[in-house]
Structure 1
Amino acid sequence: MLKRNKLALSISAAVLTGGLVAPLAVAQTSGEALEEVTVTGIRGSLQDALSIKRNAGGIVDAISAEDVGKFPDKNIAESLSRITGVAVSREFGEGEKVSIRGAGPDYNRTTLNGQSVGTADWFILDNPARSFNFTLLPSTLISSLEVSKSPQASQDEGSLGGTVNVRTHRPLDLDAGQASISAESVYSETSEEFDPSVSGQYSWKNDSETFGILVAATKQDRTVQRSGFEVLSWTDEATPGVMVPGTMGAPTFYQERERETFFVSTQFRATDELLFTLDALDTSVNADNMNGNWLVFAGDNAVDHAANGVMSGSSVVASEITGEGRGVVNWINRVSSSESQSFTLTAEYESDAFSLDVVAGQTSAEGGTYRETSWEYGWTGGDYAFDLRKPSLTTDPAPNDAEAYGAGWIWGGEKPTTDEETYFQIDLELPIDAGAFTAIKTGIKSRSAERTQDRTVYSWHGPETLAGNEDLASDWPVYLQYIFNTCPTLASCDLNSGGTVDIDSPVAGNATNVVKQVRDVMEQIAFGGLNGVPADYARSLELANIWAVEEDIFAVYAQAEFEGERYRGNFGLRYVTTDQASSGYEFSSDSWGFKTIDRDWLNPAYLEWVTEDNDYSEFLPSFNIAYDLNDDMVVRTGVARVMARQNWNQISAFETFGSLNAPDPQGQSGNPFLKPFIADQLDVSYEWYYGDVSAFSATTFVKKNHSYLTKETYTEARYDEQSDSYVDVDFSRDVNGPGGLVAGVELAVLHDFDNGFGLQANYTYTSTGEDTVVGISDTMANLMGYYENDTFGARLMYNYRSEWSKGFHWNGNPLSNDAYGQWDASFSYNVTDNAQLTFEAVNLTDEQIIEYSDYEDRLMSLYENGRRFVIGARYDF
């Protein structure tokens, strides 16, 4: 069995790393000399994926490099969406996070060549979680993707649904001097922009094949524009039993996204038995963005809406107000980025007596919003009408009437995060001959991690912000007041110098014809100055949102491999200890939760950095067995206990809340004493390999979750700067609650018609009973049809998932995503054996992302990311 697995792995490596044409050596059953068979294109890559699945120790699904190259995917998450049981979120039109088999994005692990990769989100509304942001990894980086669904003791713990392992190319596996380069142009329908993408890879090794180096680089630009409609809160505080939208608007999000990725792999074979590999990754995303939202405060008129509005169930879905309305434009400018690095050194020693792997490495990430400015100009006493069924929003004054929007408020700040981890691992394998037992594996792994978040707020109304301008200060005591007296409406100070613009948004009414945001003017006034008066603002720490979590993990395992005439498998035990230290500020309320760091203003009488400790240990047994019914059919069974640690932000000492000038403000806070998720799972699969590139599989899985997170609530007052008053906020935080059962079935078929045509389809049904699990859709499905000959290839793909929970909106309302289905297509033409042209189309039917609260008639948001079209060329040499 060991020899057979090694042969299978070597075959897989040959196919994975061979580019468009890969030689496959197949032994003749008669014992004659080996003959060379050539496997090419889509058919070869699918055949390789089946080989990985069939020879795996547990239930595994895979995609090869050739296969990824033929998908219209710009990152790994989008590639993963084609795998059975995997769902992807696409908030900004590009895959970001994945859910697997009854477990949301935060409860699955992603590794690069078996090790962690630090990640830090760029978006200010994202909370630091354990989910990996796949926008950092382009799909051109990988040689294969593997999703392990039934764990083994030798695998890292931390996943409830599955572990994604991203494998990269290695130089000693490739031909010396092998290289490729590709260039693409991406057209985004919403932004109407063409953006370039360039990637290349070069691999070299010496004649003796003892030393090699591989270098890969990718640069991708993308202009993102997302328009839509938002309801920022629902409340029945003013009219018990009748839910009324609190604040609603028509937002447009813009971003110039620039992604750069560099990967270097160096290998040195010191002896026939000893191999050293050093992998280094540096990937970054510059993600500056701005958002414009034309808001109406419908909650001000909640009683009138409840009495006169159009009802759907217990929700007001349409209404109008005359003469008593209030609205604003909220323009937000952000300087954002994210960067990750990892360095891993591996020593592999293999002899007839034993195999020993030693791994040491470090990964780090930093990212977030490093500067944010939010401007509000508004109106009062006007009219508005809304209809959430369409949706539509109409206001009087209109959003293109710059003179009608008067000065309101300016605020801003910073929210940077970091993620660091060092790891050390030893794995030992001892071949044995003891009946059915063929090998014993054992090892240890140590991980030390830290995740941090900082938060600083800017106040243009802070004291002495007109220092050195005594004449001005006598009339306008703070810089904010000077700005608004000098620029009383959007029609002054060149704030409307961009004119008006029709935003391409799925909203009726006049909310789509608006004054265009002029970012340069706003940032000059906020950070540079106005009419020769230097800009100034106070910088204060927002104490409740600054935290750090340290985590030390130690694991030890033992695993036995066994094999008989028609069966094979493994069983083992993994023991894991986790020590956590969650730190944050304790402070008195006399400074409203702030500490000013650049002047004498806000300073709490009591301030101390405190740490709460939490620790736990778990035994994680596992058992996997595969039985060959015949040469073509395999039945597998896997039983295991799995665990997933809670999110960083959930176990941190954080606190956040929504707008304090909205009705019934809501907030959330962390809980450092949360215990991990524990689940017992059973997997049974049937696999029928009825052709070289044809197979059918059916899998059922059951997970008994020992606990879910539930919410506990409490009410505390918080200071509202704009009204200079305290406001009661209803806070909620996670606590460990009762568990529940997750069960499901996966069906997959791959059929090649031997004439260039083929079909691949899969379906997943997951039931969580009466429990709501974040990130999980009841139904997921993928369908792909393909055709390929020597010169032309085409794929048409459909990806679908039913509605799923997203937990809670930042304002406290329950949040769900409506069902989503997307059609994609890709085409390729081989100009020569080495040159290829490609064309790709993404989101062909221009699907919308729709979010709601509790019921579908309580719309929370509707977004359009638009279609994307890609034309490219690739050359291998």
Structure 2
Amino acid sequence: MHTRKLSLIAIACSAALQFTAPQAIAADASQVVGVVTNVNSSKLFAGAKIDIQELGISVYADKEGRFRIPRIAPGTYTVEIDYLGTEPSTQTIVVGDDITNVTLLVGAANDTIEELLVRGQRSGQATAINKQRMADGITSVVSSDAIGQFPDQNAAESLQRLPGLSIERDQGEGRFVGIRGIDPNLNNVTINGLNIPSPEGGVRSVALDVIPSELISSLTVSKSVTSDMDADTIGGNIEVKSVSAFDRATDSASFTAQLSQNELRDALSPKLAGSVTHKINDKWGIAAALSYFDREFGSDNIESNGDDEIEQRHYSITRERLGGAVNIDFRPDFNNQYYLRTLYSRFSDSEFRQANVFVFDGDDSEVERESKDRFEEQSILSISAGAEHERDAWTISYQAGYSRSDEDEPDALYYVFTGADAGIDGDLEQRIPQLTVPEALNDLGNYELDQMSFERNNAKDTELSFRLDIARRVDWLSSEGEMKFGSKYRAREKNAAANISIFDGGFDGFDNATFATASPEYTLGNFGPGLNRGALRDNFNQQRSRLELAELDSRIESQGNSFSNDEDIFAAYAMTRFDWEKLRLVAGLRYESTSYSTAGSQVSLTENEDTDSVDLTIEPVNASRDYDNLFPSINVRYAFSEKLIGRAAFTQTLSRPSFEDAAAFQIIEANVRTEDGEQVIEREASVGNPELLPYEADNFDLMLEYYPGSIGVLSAGLFHKRIDNFIVEANVAGTGPWEGFEEAFQPVNGEEATLTGLELSWVKSFNNGLLFSVNSTFSDSDALTILDGERFETKLPNQSDTVGNVVVGYENDSLSLRLSMTYKSDNLEEIDDGMLRIEDDHQQIDFVAKYYINNDMQVYFNGINLGDEPMYHYFDERNRNAQFEQYGRTFEIGFIWRTQ
């Protein structure tokens, strides 16, 4: 990496790529190509193992159930097909002089197990386990068969069931995915091979709740990467694959209708989804999917600053999600494939938040009643086109892609009403703080309108990419293998624009009592009078022309929160893949060159109390930096037996700073006054840091996987990560350019962090219909930051020591039941005013029941968050509230029609 000498392992990888011994496979060798399916051709079996018994060679079916044996002499051979979940079967094939196309069969025509493998929980388990078994590295998979077996609304929630994975929630719904307890910002997400930009203004992490689960063909999490994958994957790489006609053995169609109800906000929410795949002929295929969900829900919240402030919040939200995908494939023959992949998802929230803010300061205590009325829309568009060609011993693939994510908040409206202290009292030393509020403060007529603000905010993130991969099959040391090299170029632009108008006058004549409504249903105490959303909006529209604009505050907020970033990444790699009987080695070296630039504003506000003057200056700030990195990777797979597989990996990866952390913006406030004849200047600042270095990680992995032969796997793995330059927000006042500042908050690089963990998983399906799955990941981290000579030793931010899942299920040919529990231990969020802000552990229980009316139709019932688990954050000690938010239980009933 750019701050280190090239390691010995990197040198060894580079030398391995320069050997001269390999010989290309003869161009005139015969080939066998084919597909693995069942007797009635209703399912493709991805990950099936194909053994040519006379030759002692094995290949695996790919993600579409297809396989290729590149060099084989003409003749008659016995093939054994091994797919976990069925008994091995044998078949005779006859190989001709050129290309032989065969169909290999799994299972028996009337086998009940086969039927369950096509549609039930066993299908999801079997597909995922077989794909995991065939993988070069350490991976976890969620197949399309498994996605429908849980009450998951989006891609994030579908991933939380995998070993080592957890999610961060917003309003009770999963959004961001963490791998092995690591911050979601340190993952890479691709859809159909494209890197997906983030809709949100300053982050890199992709909120996967914008992708409906109905659009997904598979989700693959790579915990150890290979050199042909992007290097920005300290946590791991999440690959989302949308539906394709060639994923299915036959034409298929599905339709889902659902109603859900959240008990906290008693309203019915509809959902409709459908998909269709159609092979027009042997060469052309089209797949399309559409999903719509209109959900009404909310939450009750109470939070504090850990010292002298308590805030009650009541949320009412209408969340609408619309997603669609259209994919076209053209395959004129087995050696040439062309594709077009499109995915569009739109996610919107219409939110009304009411809040009461209580500040305790003796006779100067304050009370505020606030409202937030906003509509926010996020969208993701992904378009990619590419091809793959087989030419004798060569495989050439290429892809061009365009991705766009944006977030639009067109007309957010905020009100703040203030009231005088009338004897308020509160206790913050509880999970749910207690308040004493005099009756006078429950009358909105006793408040004054203090401030209004109107915001129009927008963020846009676009990426254009090109990729070329070339592979050549070779022989080396009596082994058949592959040499692969390629390059990728990504041009990314991220913009955040804020247009904020703050009004602090012109409120004379307002009758605040006309905005009051009955107290909202609030489960965490006495909330007092509510605010009328429609009346507040109408009042602003009618009175806007007479309101007094706080011009300086408006400009500060607008300019200070606007910035643009450009990032160009060029990558090139070379790698090898060889199999020696039981041993598979995948080794390579990747080079990435990053060019980053950012533009923003320095907003400086100086208030001079002596001259009673205010001075505002706004100046452009620009910065840029370039850096290069080399990333060696080694993945080793060793089959001790047919059932026991060992894996080991060493990789070097990075994660680039978030766009907000590295943005060129500075907000500086100064107060000038005279005390005892001397001039006193107090300065505070909030600034980005374009000089941030990327996280850099050495990753070590060991894994043992035992496949007992039925649908099941028992695995145990150790991992260790050494991370340099991790990023934390710190008060850098008194250092460098911030000498003389009272406060100056800026993201900075820490020194070094380590993460060590153990990952355990057991998945088992029993012949009596019972299914069982349990996984846990235990980790420990240490992070060191040195600021102004002072050492701070903490854990990695947003890293959980323990994450786990337990699933118990039962199914037969007409009924499918599943009870699941997910757990995530507490984690450090940030250091807030000298206190550690901790997110408490979270445990959620969900239930699914399905009844199969016939082979094509089913009804289902889902129970989500049955234990009514809240989200809770605290300061330093568990009884010191930072935030307590309750979501209630959600119940769903639905109908599915599916044919294939």
After TM superposition, the score normalised by the length of structure 2 is 0.82
Partner letter of residue 412 of structure 1? F
Measure how far apart 1:339 and its partner are. Answer: 1.3
Q: Does 1:617 align with 2:624?
A: no
Distance in 2 between residues matched to 1:149 and 1:5, nearest whole Å: 22
* Residues 1:248 and 1:754: Cα distance change in structure 2 (over 3 Å): same
Deviations along 1:617-660, one digit per CA (max 9) or x if unpaired, are 111000011111111001110011111111111100235799x9
Tell me, what secondary structure is at the counterpart of 1:630?
coil
Quickly say closer, same or farther: Cα 1:287–1:516, change in 2 above 3 A.
same
Alpha-carbon distance, 1:667 to partner:
6.4
The match for 1:874 is 896
Correspondence for 2:644 among 633, 656, 671: 633
What does residue 727 of structure 2 align with? Answer: 709
Q: Does 1:432 align with 2:474?
A: yes
Instruction: Specify the code of the residue in structure 2 equivalent to 1:522.
Output: L
Counterpart position of 2:301: 228
Candidates 583, 590, 605, aligned match of 2:599: 583
Could you say what secondary structure the match of 1:109 adopts? strand
Cα-Cα RMSD: 2.9
**What does residue 280 of structure 1 align with?**
342
The residue correspondences of 1:502-651 to structure 2 (distance < 5 A) are: 502-507=520-525, 510=526, 512=527, 514-529=528-543, 540=555, 542-586=558-602, 589=605, 607-651=618-662
Residue 293 of structure 1 aligns with an amino acid whose one-letter code is A
2:761 aligns to what?
748
Question: Structure 1 residue 847 and structure 2 residue 869: aligned?
Answer: yes
Alpha-carbon distance in 2 for matches of 1:86, 1:557: 29
State the Cα distance separating 1:201 from its structure 2 match. 0.6
**Deviations 1:197-236 (Å, cap 9, x if unpaired)?**
11111112223x21121111110111131112111x34xx
Give the match's secondary structure for 2:209: helix
Contact 1:175 1:204 in 2 (8 A): no
Q: Which residue of 2 aligns with 1:205?
A: 279
Q: Which residue number in structure 1 is paired with residue 99 of structure 2? A: none
Equivalent residue for 1:795, pick from 818, 822, 825: 818
Structure 1 equivalent of residue 496 of structure 2: 453
CA contact (8 A) 1:645 1:676 kept: yes
Alignment partner, residue 686 of structure 1? 704
Q: Kindly tell me: are residues 391 and 608 of structure 1, through their superposed partners in 2, closer, same or farther at Cα, counting changes over 3 Å?
A: closer
SS of the equivalent of 2:537 reads helix
2-side partners of 1:217 and 1:258: how far apart? 14
Three-state SS of the structure 1 residue aligned to 2:418 is: strand
> Once the 2 structures are TM-superposed, how far is the Cα of residue 452 of structure 1 from its aligned partner?
1.2
**Secondary structure in 2 aligned to 1:646?**
coil
Please tell me whether the aligned partners of residues 242 and 325 of structure 2 are also in contact (alpha carbons under 8 angstroms). Answer: no
Deviations 1:642-691 (A, max 9, x none): 11111111100235799x9xxx9986421001111111111000111013
Asked whether 1:158 is paired with 2:232, we answer: yes
Render the CA deviation track for 1:143-179: whole Å, top value 9, x for unaligned: 1111100111111111111111111221233356421
Distance in 2 (CA, whole Å) between partners of 1:695 and 1:586 is 56
Partner of 1:829: 851
Q: Deviation at 1:297?
A: 0.9
Give the match for residue 395 of structure 2: 355
Q: Which residue of 2 is the match for residue 185 of structure 1?
A: 259
| Alpha-carbon spacing, 1:9–1:403, altered in 2? closer, same or farther (3 Å) | farther
Residue 485 of structure 1: which of 508, 513, 521 is its match? 508
Give the counterpart of 2:133 among 48, 51, 54.
54
Q: What one-letter code is carried by the residue in structure 2 that aligns with 1:222?
A: R
**3-state SS of paired residue (1:543):** helix
Cα displacement (A) at 1:36: 4.4
Do the aligned partners of residues 848 and 398 (structure 1) sit closer, same or farther apart at CA in structure 2, a change above 3 Å counting? farther
SS at match of 1:288: strand
Runs of 5+ consecutive residues of structure 1 not aligned to the other structure: 16-21, 122-126, 235-244, 302-322, 462-479, 593-600, 717-726
Go from structure 1 to structure 2 and tell me whether the alpha carbon gap of 1:804 and 1:656 turns closer, same or farther (over 3 Å shift): farther
Does the 8 Å CA contact 2:382/2:402 hold for their aligned counterparts? yes
Paired residue type of 2:802: T
Deviation, structure 1 residue 26: 8.6
Determine the C-alpha separation between the residues in 1 that align with 2:383 and 2:65: 25
- SS of 1:501's equivalent? coil
Q: From the superposition, tell whether residues 230 and 666 of structure 1 become closer, same or farther in structure 2 (CA, over 3 Å).
A: farther
Does residue 733 of the first structure (1) align with residue 746 of the second (2)?
Answer: yes
Q: Does the aligned pair in 2 maintain the 1:803–1:819 contact within 8 Å? A: yes
- Per-residue deviation at 1:505? 2.6
Aligned in 2, Cα 1:700/1:24: closer, same or farther, shift over 3 Å? closer
| Counterpart code for 1:875 | W
1:103 to 182, 196, 206: 182
Unaligned runs of 5+ in 2: 1-30, 34-46, 51-58, 67-82, 94-102, 108-113, 672-681, 735-739, 783-792
**Alignment-mate amino acid for residue 334 of structure 1:** R
Deviations 1:801-855 (A, max 9, x none): 110122356x896432001100001010111110010110110010111111233
Question: Does the CA contact (< 8 Å) of 2:451 and 2:502 recur in 1?
Answer: no
1:414 and 2:438 aligned: no
CA distance in structure 2 between the aligned counterparts of 1:131 and 1:443, rounded to whole angstroms:
26
User: Which of 328, 340, 358 is residue 368 of structure 2 equivalent to?
Assistant: 328
TM-score by length of 1: 0.84
Partner of 2:465: 423
Q: Distance in 2 between matches of 1:737 and 1:109?
A: 22
SS at match of 2:173: coil
Which region of structure 1 is more displaced relative to structure 2, 694-703 or 364-373? 364-373
Letter in structure 1 aligned against 2:867: T
Structure 2 counterpart of 1:456, one-letter code = N
* Structure 2 SS opposite 1:503: coil
Across the two proteins, how many residue pairs are aligned to each other? 777
2:482 is equivalent to residue 443 of structure 1? no
- Bigger drift between 553-562 and 395-404 goes to 395-404
Shift of 1:795: 0.4
Post-superposition CA distance 1:24-53 (Å, at most 9, x none): 999744748954423331112201111111
Q: What pairs with 1:165-314 in structure 2 (closer than 5 Å)?
A: 165-174=239-248, 177-207=251-281, 209-231=282-304, 233-234=305-306, 245-298=307-360, 300-301=361-362
